[in-house]
């Protein structure tokens, strides 16, 4: 009874499936038949085009595992990961590598300002350089500053011990998807207990979006009873 009922239920289920899903399944099955016809008797030989096809199907078709016969799904996933690594390797090699170099004159100027103003930090020197029309990052300013042997104020460790309950870290990190898309995750973490205060995900980060996330993370306002510590150079 069950053996006779199973084909009927299978046919009934197929009738309600979408036409696009059926066409994709037919394409996948015909492709595997073609691979088996041109291959040897023992093991099917898959070309680069075959692997690209199944790597694309694994991302575009949710039910691709049901029609896969000639290889295991883990093999297709490994092809997709390899293609993802090759894609980003090519993108890095053909893009802009590293930060722009800082001229010797600007480096000497940063050291001079830092030496003559020992109480100034990187944000203050960075602001003065911007007033002079010199475009440079704050982290680069900190890199070329003169290091004072004795700090003029409390050490960083003392500051952290005194204000650990009011400090948080805010930063972005990226998450690649199976469709070669990069998602930006904004995270706010409390230092005291390493507790997540707020996080959100977007595919297109902007200054307005980041400012709104800060307002959502601290609805009572910034700068009153809570200080924000930047944990990365490219927060904004």
pLDDT in tens, 78-116: 877 887 788 788 877 766 556 678 889 999 999 999 988
What distance in Å separates the CA atoms of residue 93 and residue 73, rounded to the nearest whole number?
31
Read off the pLDDT of each residue in 118-146 and give the average, rounded to a whole number: 90
CA geometry: angle 17, 18, 21, nearest 5 deg: 95
Closest CA to 217 of 193, 195, 184: 195
CB 229 within 8 A of CB 160: no
pLDDT single digits (tens) 170-206: 888 999 988 888 999 999 988 888 888 888 999 988 9
Q: Quick check: 205 and 172 in contact, CB under 8 A?
A: yes
Whole-number pLDDT of residue 164 = 83
Q: Is the pLDDT assigned to residue 230 strictly greater than 60?
A: no
Beta bridge partners of 230: 170
Of residues 232 and 166, the one with the higher pLDDT is: 166
Question: Residue 233 above 50 pLDDT?
Answer: no
On the question of pLDDT at 225 being above 50, the answer is no
* Pairwise CA distance, residues 217 & 200, whole Å: 10
Confidence of residue 18 (pLDDT cuts 50, 70, 90): low
Mean pLDDT of 17-44: 68
Token representation of residue 154: 């409390």
Average pLDDT estimate for 121-134: 91
Query: How many of the other CB atoms lie within 10 Å of CB of 110?
Result: 25
Q: What is the pLDDT of residue 98?
A: 60
Given a cut of 70, whether residue 14 has pLDDT beyond it is: no
Burial class (CB in 10 A: 0-12, 13-18, 19+), 1: exposed
Q: Band of the pLDDT at 127, cuts 50, 70, 90?
A: very high
**Is 86:78 a contact under the CB 8 Å cutoff?**
no
Q: Is 220 exposed, middle or buried (0-12, 13-18, 19+ CB in 10 A)?
A: exposed
Residue 129 near residue 123, CB atoms below 8 Å? no
- pLDDT value at residue 236: 42
What mean pLDDT value characterizes the chain? 76
Q: Where are the domains of the chain?
A: 14-93, 99-153, 154-236
């Amino acid at each position: 009874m069950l053996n006779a009922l199973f084909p009927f239920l299978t046919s009934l289920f197929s009738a309600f499936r979408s036409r696009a899903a059926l066409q994709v399944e037919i394409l996948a099955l015909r492709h595997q038949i073609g691979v088996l016809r041109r291959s040897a008797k023992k093991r099917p030989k898959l070309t680069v085009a075959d692997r690209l096809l199944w790597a694309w199907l694994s991302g575009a078709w949710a039910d691709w595992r049901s029609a896969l016969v000639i290889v295991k799904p883990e093999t297709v996933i490994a092809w997709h990961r390899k293609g993802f690594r090759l894609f980003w390797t090519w993108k890095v090699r053909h893009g802009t590598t590293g930060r722009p170099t800082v001229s010797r004159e600007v480096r000497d100027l940063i050291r001079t300002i830092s030496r003559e103003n020992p109480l100034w930090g990187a944000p203050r020197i960075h602001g003065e350089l911007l007033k002079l029309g010199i475009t440079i990052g704050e982290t680069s300013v900190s890199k070329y500053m003169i290091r004072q042997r004795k700090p003029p104020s409390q050490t960083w460790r003392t500051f952290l011990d005194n204000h650990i309950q009011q400090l948080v870290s805010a930063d972005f990190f990226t998450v690649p998807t199976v469709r070669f898309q990069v998602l930006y995750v904004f995270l706010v973490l409390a230092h005291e207990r390493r507790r997540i205060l707020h996080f959100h995900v977007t595919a297109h980060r902007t200054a307005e979006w980041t400012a709104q996330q800060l307002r959502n993370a601290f609805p009572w306002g910034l700068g009153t009873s809570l200080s924000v510590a930047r944990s990365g150079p490219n927060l904004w």
